[in-house]
């Protein structure tokens, strides 16, 4: 398992702090250059296309966490949740099998680290209703959706 991390210019400082405080994991940071005029979708696309969707996790940071999460979810195989609490991270992982989370650059380091640890440590719920819903999303991504 690898942890991929990216941010636009708004999340640069928080991203660096997270990287410095995540021990024991292989961390891969986006190779794109950050600048005051950078675009968050490019950072989401950069790491979400490189990660193994079944094994790795993506951590995404922008001003609100919203835009970068929307961009990430355009990448096939990504299930990114924009999160505001540990409970949301836990439920995203359990019920939606999230492999990516996004949050605001205003998130504290301690909170961000708790989000990441929750994402990694929470087991997925493989009950039929959750698996059915995830399969519906996968089928849609593959163009096999039958409109009602």
Backbone φ/ψ region at 143: left (φ over 0), alpha (ψ -120 to 50), beta: left
Decide: 6 and 47 in contact? Cβ < 8 Å.
yes
- Rounded CA separation 93/96 (Å): 6
Q: Could you tell me the CA-to-CA distances from 136 to 47, 113, 141, 144 in Å, in that order?
A: 24, 31, 9, 9
- Rounded CA separation 73/44 (Å): 9
So which residues are the catalytic ones? Answer: 62, 95
């Amino acid at each position: 398992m690898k942890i991929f991390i990216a941010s636009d210019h708004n999340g640069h400082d928080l991203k660096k702090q997270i990287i410095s405080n995540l021990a024991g994991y292989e961390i891969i940071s986006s190779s794109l250059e950050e600048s005051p005029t950078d675009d968050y979708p490019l950072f989401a696309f950069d790491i979400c296309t490189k990660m193994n969707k079944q094994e790795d996790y993506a951590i995404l940071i922008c001003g609100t966490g919203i835009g970068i999460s929307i961009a990430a979810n355009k990448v096939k195989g990504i299930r990114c949740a924009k999160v505001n609490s540990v409970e949301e991270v836990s439920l995203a992982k359990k019920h939606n099998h999230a492999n990516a989370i996004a949050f605001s650059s205003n998130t504290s380091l301690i909170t961000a680290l708790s989000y990441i640890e929750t994402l990694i440590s929470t087991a997925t719920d493989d009950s039929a209703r959750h698996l059915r819903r995830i399969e519906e999303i996968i089928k849609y991504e593959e163009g096999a959706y039958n409109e009602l």
